[in-house]
Structures are given as C-alpha cells and as structure tokens.
Copies of this chain bind each other. A is one copy, B any other.
Amino acid sequence: MAEEAGAGSMAALEHPGWEPAAGEEFLREALRVLLEDAVRKGTDVTEKVCEWREPPELRELLDLELRSGGEPPERLLQRCRDVVRFSVKTGHPRFFNQLFSGLDPHALAGRLLTEALNTSQYTFEVAPVFVLMEGVVLAKLRELVGWSSGDGIFAPGGSMCNMYAMNVARFQRFPECRSLGMTALPRLALFTSCDSHYSIQKGAAFLGIGTDNVRLVATDERGKMIPEELEKEIQKAKAEAAWGGSALLSSKHRHLLAGIERAHSVTWNPHKMLTVGLQCSAFLLRDTSGLLQRCHGSGATYLFQRDKFYDISYDTGDKSPQCGRRVDCLKLWLLWKANGTEGLAKRVERAFACSRYLAEEVKRRDGFELVMEPEFINLCFWFVPPRLRGRESCPDYWSSLGKVAPAIKERMMRKGSMMVGYQPHGTRVNFFRQIVTSPAVTRADLDFFLDEIERLGWDL
C-alpha cells in the first residue's frame, strides 16, 4: 500500500475508517447468537450448565492468540458462538454456584442499552439521563434502608463499597488523613465480625490501615457478633449488608435487617438477589453534609469546570474515587419499572420459599445434614454417602466427609448438569452452600438438585 493511501494519510480521512453497514450487519448476527445461544439455550433446563474442558484443551480449542491480521465476519461469529458454548450458563435454572444467578430480561435490556450508549457516569453533560436516574435509584434504596435523606454512589462491586465506607469513616473522624496520610494519625483499629466478608481485610490493607489492625469480634454459632458487644453493631451492619440488602423489599422479611437504619453507611448489591447482573453495587450514606464529596472529590478542571452553563451540582462523578465510571443504574431502574416494588418483594419471598422448601427436604432425606437451620436464603448442608452413614464416631469420619463435596463438585462439572459451591468454615469440613435467587428456579429444579447430589455422591 502506497504511503498516500495509508491510514495515516490525509486522503484516508475522506471516508470513515470502518464500514458502518458491514458493522451493523455483524452486530445483527452477533445479537442472534446472543438471543439464541446465550439467552434461550443458556437458560434452557434441558441444556448443560457448563461444558467442561481442561484449561490447556480449552485454550487450544478457542485459538485465543491475537495476530497481526484481522478475520472475516463468519469466523468472528463462530468465535462468538464458541465463547458462549464454553462459558458457564449463569442464567441456567441449575446454576447455584454464585449469588448472581438468573438472567432477568428487563435488567439485561438495561445492561445492553447501557453498553450501546457507552458513557461515563460523571457529569450531567455526558450522562444527563443517568445522573438523574442514579439519584432516584439511590434515594429509593435509602428509603428502604429507612433514611429520608442521605448520599451515595454506585461503585464497582461490594468490596469497593466496603472500602469506600472505611475510607469515609476514617475521613469523618480524621479529616487530616486525606492530606497528611496515615502516618500523621494514631494507630487505628477496625472492628468487624470474625465472619465478615474478606473485603474488610483487603480494604484494610489497601487503605493503609493494616490487616493486623482489623479486630475480629467473636460470633455465635450462627455467625452473628455476640450481642453484648453493642457498640460494634454499626460495623456489623456495614460488613453484613451487601447481599442481604434486598430482603428490605419484603415486608415479611425485612425484620431480618432490623436496626440497619442506625448504620452510617450501607453496602447493597442488587446484582445478587435482584438478578440485576454484574455489577450493580450501591454505597449508601446517611450523611447529608457532603462528606462523600469532601472525602473523594478533587475537582479536576477538565471535567468539573466551575463555569458551566448548568447547575454543576448535577456533576456527581467527583464523589467517587474513580474517574470514568460505568453506568450501573439503568438495569436496576428498568427492572424496577417492570416489576414494581411489589414484584421485587415477591421475588424476595419466592427466594425464601425456595430455601424453606430445600431445608425441609434436606431434613427429610437420608444422608443429608444441615450445617445449621437457615435464617436467610443460604442453605449449608453436607451429603453423607451411604459408606459413611452412622460412622460419626470413627476418627476419620470428618476428614472423609470433607472430601465428599469436592468429589461431587468435580463430577457435576464434568457432567455439566448443575453447579453449586462448597467450602469449609472454621472447624467444619467442606459443605455445600446453596443459594436460590433466580425466579427461573422451580421445585422440579430443587428436587433435581438434591437427587443429583445423591446420584453423584452415592458411591463415594
């Protein structure tokens, strides 16, 4: 190619650097793959949840390498189909591995539109709709917490929200920390439940507080902080509220979060129980004095000009430690508009009903054993294969039982029939941890779930 016709030449600027019609056609075809393979087949109970391949084999199959030449549309569409095929179907009714299961059509529509509109949630001029919408959604979430006013912002995940909370708390007590740093402060201690999410430890390290200064407060056998330690209630609310927040929607179950309105801040992940899709994490603050802005703001002149022609209080991006920030409100807003608060409350109640049903079944069936009676929607249980039943007093009982869940998990992954997580906790050996949040799950799926564990673990 002669230099004159090169991409960097002036002549090349006469026409766009891509072909819009061809691009649109590709997009149309890719959306067909999305609808057929990812949405329809991905949520079809007769299809596999995953198609397991060992990492080296999968790498080979996908031909991931990036080369100097481009590829034709048919090849790219095949790649899209392969990506979907070998990805885990988290919207499948038998995916129970994580809290973000389920594929809500309205939330998904909101997420796809968000991508197509591709803007940053920092100033009114580039995100007019979303600045207003974020404000309304955050106010609604605060209302459910029990606050008539306050502040807040969406953040990239619950761990980041928890870091924001820790940073804002530090700033409120020691505003000089922002300019002088931690070395100018006395050694701080951070109190949290010993069963709190690991983001508290991560945050303590990241923020320069130090993990040794995280004081883990003892919990009872249900993982709750010992109630006598009343002065630590506020920290507990911060650490525990992230995925349970959605229970606030149900008048029947919101008592589980009684007292949450006394917290100074709340982290709430609607991407979990509300099937909004990753990520949708709200950091809510009771403060009305502008603390969040003072704590995180820096007033970059190229974004937050003071001489704009509109009311710059609508430029909310400076409340975040991020600069560019994804739009996370539209998916939740559209889901809410579609279902109403009542519809969302029903979902929460349905999730509780699923847990209740499963808990009863676990108690009824031979060889299944609850780790503890569920209070929320997470159900923890062991499956005891026939070989181990009645042998609780044998010295190797617990170590043998601890190998059962990983072995069943391997079998279910290779078969692709379903997915569920397991973990040890304290002195308890590996148990299954089941959480149903998706409205796609029926009783038949729950029965299948227990039957399948029995089938896969029978001979272990």
- A395 within 8 A of partner (CB): no
Across the interface, name the chain B residue whose C-beta is closest to A9.
B353
Query: Once bound together, how far apart are the Cα atoms of A134 and B69, in whole Å?
Result: 20
Q: A30-B113, A112-B112, A181-B204 are in contact. Are A65 and B8 (CB under 8 A)?
A: no
Surface stretch bound by B, among A216-224, A232-240, A307-315, A367-375: A307-315
B310 lies within 8 A of A129 (CB): no
- A291 within 8 A of partner (CB): no
Across the interface, name the chain B residue whose C-beta is closest to A89.
B117
A112 lies within 8 A of B66 (CB): no
B326 lies within 8 A of A113 (CB): no
Across the interface, name the chain B residue whose C-beta is closest to A167.
B206
- A385 within 8 A of partner (CB): no
A 117-161 contacts with B by CB, 8 A? 117-120, 124-133, 136-137, 140, 156-160
A18 lies within 8 A of B439 (CB): yes
A109 lies within 8 A of B27 (CB): yes
- A244 within 8 A of partner (CB): no
Q: Per-residue 0/1 for A6-25: is the Cβ within 8 Å of any B Cβ (1 yes, 0 no)?
A: 11111011111110101110
- A258 within 8 A of partner (CB): no
Return A419 CB to nearest CB of chain B, in Å.
7
- A226 within 8 A of partner (CB): no
- A365 within 8 A of partner (CB): no
B8 lies within 8 A of A352 (CB): yes
A16 lies within 8 A of B159 (CB): no
- A256 within 8 A of partner (CB): no
- A43 within 8 A of partner (CB): yes
Return A433 CB to nearest CB of chain B, in Å.
7
Query: Once bound together, how far apart are the Cα atoms of A413 and B69, in whole Å?
Result: 40
Residues of B close to A87: CB separation below 8 A: 117, 119, 127-130
In-complex Cβ contact of A7 among B117, B347, B446 (8 A): B347
In-complex Cβ contact of A296 among B27, B71, B202, B349 (8 A): B202
Residues of B close to A177: CB separation below 8 A: 205, 208, 210
Query: Once bound together, how far apart are the Cα atoms of A330 and B324, in whole Å?
Result: 20
A159 lies within 8 A of B321 (CB): yes
Main secondary structure of the interface of A (DSSP, over half): helix
B17 lies within 8 A of A347 (CB): yes
A323 lies within 8 A of B406 (CB): no
Question: Chain A interface: which size bin?
Answer: 35 or more
Q: A14-B442, A105-B24, A323-B158 are in contact. Are A419 and B125 (CB under 8 A)?
A: yes
Residues of B close to A188: CB separation below 8 A: 181, 183
Surface stretch bound by B, among A75-83, A282-290, A386-394, A452-460: A75-83
- A173 within 8 A of partner (CB): no
A324 lies within 8 A of B271 (CB): yes
B182 lies within 8 A of A182 (CB): yes
Across the interface, name the chain B residue whose C-beta is closest to A353.
B8
Q: Per-residue 0/1 for A399-419: is the Cβ within 8 Å of any B Cβ (1 yes, 0 no)?
A: 000010010011001000001
A206 lies within 8 A of B207 (CB): yes
Query: Once bound together, how far apart are the Cα atoms of A342 and B71, in whole Å?
Result: 12
B337 lies within 8 A of A86 (CB): no
B14 lies within 8 A of A443 (CB): yes
Across the interface, name the chain B residue whose C-beta is closest to A212.
B179
- A172 within 8 A of partner (CB): no
A8 lies within 8 A of B252 (CB): yes
Residues of B close to A17: CB separation below 8 A: 346-347, 350, 439-441
B341 lies within 8 A of A67 (CB): yes
Q: List 10 A-B contacts (CB under 8 A).
A: A13-B443, A17-B350, A20-B440, A31-B31, A34-B116, A55-B311, A58-B128, A69-B340, A184-B210, A271-B324
Q: Which 8 A-B pairs have the closest CB atoms?
A: A208-B208, A181-B210, A17-B439, A23-B105, A8-B349, A182-B182, A7-B346, A156-B156
Given contacts A23-B106, A42-B117, 10 further A-B contacts (CB under 8 A): A13-B353, A38-B116, A69-B343, A97-B125, A159-B322, A181-B212, A182-B210, A198-B300, A202-B321, A206-B321
